[in-house]
Amino acid sequence: KKYDEAIIYWKKIEYQKPEYLGLVIQKIISAYEIQNNVNEALSILSRYYELYKLKTILGSLYKLVLKNEGIERAEEIARNELIQRPSLLSLDQLFQILTIKKSNKIENIELIQQTIKNSISERRFFNCNECGFKAKQFHWQCPGCNSWESLPSEPIDITLEN
């Protein structure tokens, strides 16, 4: 019962500030997994991603699909995302699938994948809208200028999106 209540509150974020859904998506998934209702989690994540296109939701959706629906469906998600909205994240997901399948014809695919992961983590920041402060993790209040809710809920790729 407490998980149902928690899910209800977390889902309200969609109607208040949907861009913050990525901050609670893992909690929503965990609550549904504890209740043995992964299908509902998959359904909600798919809908959220279709509506809001948040990269944090894409990452969570990909992992949940890989774990519960298998390699083929996860590959379909990564491939479609790479075609529609090319990014290092979706490329990394596709390489991960190729590594799992061991059907790679590219030598050192693990090395390529690690390079991509390093590039992703080094360039993604929460960038304050007020003072430009760059943070590796989300803060409700900017450590640089103390403005409230001035950091976006989704990290941006400094080199690609600025």
Residue 51: inside a domain = yes
Contact 108, 116 (CB under 8 A): no
Residue 6: inside a domain = yes
Residue 161: inside a domain = no
- Structure tokens belonging to residue 158: 């400094």
* pLDDT tens per residue, range 104-148: 556 556 767 776 776 666 677 899 999 999 998 999 999 999 999
CA distance 133 to 125: 9
* pLDDT tens per residue, range 75-84: 899 888 888 8
pTM of the complete model: 0.75
CA distance 105 to 121: 26
Residue 110: inside a domain = no
The CATH number linked to 79 is: 1.25.40
Total structural domains within the chain: 1
Residue 91: inside a domain = no
> What pLDDT does 160 receive?
46
Residue 93: inside a domain = no
Give the domain range for residue 44.
1-86
Residue 155: inside a domain = no
Residue 37: inside a domain = yes
